[in-house]
Amino acid sequence: MISSDPGKPRTGRPLYHIFTRIPDRYDLINHVITLGMDNGWRRQTALACLQDRPARILDICCGTGDLAITIAKLAQYTPEITGADYSQPMLEIAAAKASSSAKGKNIRFINADVARLPFSDCYFDCIGISFAFRNLTYNNPLTPTYLNEILRVLKPGGRFVIVESSQPTSPFIRFLDHLYLKLWVFPSGYLISGNKGAYRYLAESARNFYSAEEMQGFLLKAGFKQATAKRLFFGAAAVYTAIK
């Protein structure tokens, strides 16, 4: 259940300015920088979210709503789907997309900070996040707050499904992946968006983010009982499923 007053975030919003400046061309940039693979990766994430037919699903850091909308389209039943993000411009795009491509589905978008989720304890059967877990955990002083909130609103036995950039296991492919981040992701993201800081941050954080094994260890340490990983595109990204 949503509480009536989500209140103010607990201790600031370290990346907020980045995500309120880029929404206009955000989807286009995602397709360009992932060479068109982002939608397929979200589809796999959506299928992992739907595996146990969850009744209530939360897409945190939903951005322009693609994971939540993909879940709504793939579900063979009508789960209650909520997309939450703290960037109002992103949410407006999400709501417009859902009204045309997820008509008749039980889907809504709300403005909320993961540091203070406006839901009662154990409300959701499943939480998904696409390409934003890095934002919540890479050099972010609020990481423990975010993890506590995610665990609080997820039911015992519920799934937390993450798709995120990762590190290819082969040193040679990892070298190529880091080159691609530097020579393709940063310049193309910057050129199309005009926001140098946002895409420098993306390339730098992706280069230094966890490998699949490190991520599994991190999730277990955070308090999840199990954490599995499915590598995508030679390990450049991965879908993780963690069970509370």
Pick from 119, 131, 186, 240: which binds ligand SAM (CB under 6 A)?
Answer: 131
Those residues whose C-beta lies under 8 Å from the C-beta of residue 144, and which sit 6 or more positions away, are none
Give the whole-angstrom CA distance, residue 55 versus residue 59.
Answer: 13
Pick from 15, 49, 151, 227: which binds ligand SAM (CB under 6 A)?
Answer: 15
> Residue 244 carries which side chain, given as an amino acid letter?
K
Should residue 68 be labelled a site residue for ligand SAM when binding is judged by CB under 6 A? no
| Least distance between ligand SAM and beta carbon 130 (Å) | 3
DSSP secondary structure code for residue 210 in this structure: P
Give the residue from 210, 136, 113, 219 showing the smallest Cα distance to 166.
210
| Of residues 92 and 175, the one with the C-beta less far from ligand SAM | 92
| Least distance between ligand SAM and beta carbon 114 (Å) | 4
Give the residue from 155, 136, 156, 154 showing the smallest Cα distance to 146.
136
Is the CB of residue 174 less than 8 Å from the CB of residue 209?
A: no
Should residue 114 be labelled a site residue for ligand SAM when binding is judged by CB under 6 A? yes
Pick from 34, 70, 82, 87: which binds ligand SAM (CB under 6 A)?
Answer: 87
| Of residues 114 and 238, the one with the C-beta less far from ligand SAM | 114
Pick from 54, 81, 86, 167: which binds ligand SAM (CB under 6 A)?
Answer: 86
